Amino acid sequence: MNFEKAIREIEAPELSARLNVASDFRTFLRAAQQEEALRILLEGLNSKENLAKVILRVVELSQKETDPNYENPWDTALAVFLWAVNQKYPDLATALAKIVMRAPECWWVWKMARIVGLEKQVYSNAGQRDYKLFSSESALPTLTRTTDTG
């Protein structure tokens, strides 16, 4: 299986169906890590070109409109992509987590985004741990794609 096929498999409804039977997030991640497509994705992220493809795909899928009566069909794929990026590029994953939090009707990717965001801890004045999702919540990044028309 090549990198592009792994991406397609991660986005396929069949993978979502296999992983969505998980009863909790830990089980979801363990099941995802058993998938050949995820292993190929992780290896492929060593290439900057492949990393750029995944980033663009995360942005695209996060911005797709969904039916509010149903789960986001890309929830599982987004969670897997975010987990994989976090394994190799944690700072980049933090930026992507801010983007995926905008994706509607999600469950798994929101959990993954919170975990990535919680890696940045903020301590309160009382000395107790106070967790904030991101170190800066002021403005979420806005990404747009431009096309050559000329």
- The tens digit of pLDDT for each residue in 91-143 reads 999 999 999 999 999 999 999 999 888 655 433 334 444 434 444 443 334 44
Global pTM reads 0.78
92: tokens are 């980049």
pLDDT for residue 145 is more than 60:
no
pLDDT for residue 73 is more than 80:
yes
136: tokens are 């800066």
Phi and psi angles of residue 11, each rounded to the nearest 5 degrees, phi first: -85, -5
> Is the torsion defined by CA of 106, 109, 114, 120 positive or negative?
negative
Strand partners, 131: 121
59: tokens are 């942005």
Judge whether 26 and 46 are in contact, CB under 8 Å: no
Give the three-class secondary structure for 22.
coil
51: tokens are 């990393």
The C-alpha atoms of residue 78 and residue 33 are separated, in whole angstroms, by: 14
pLDDT for residue 150 is more than 80:
no
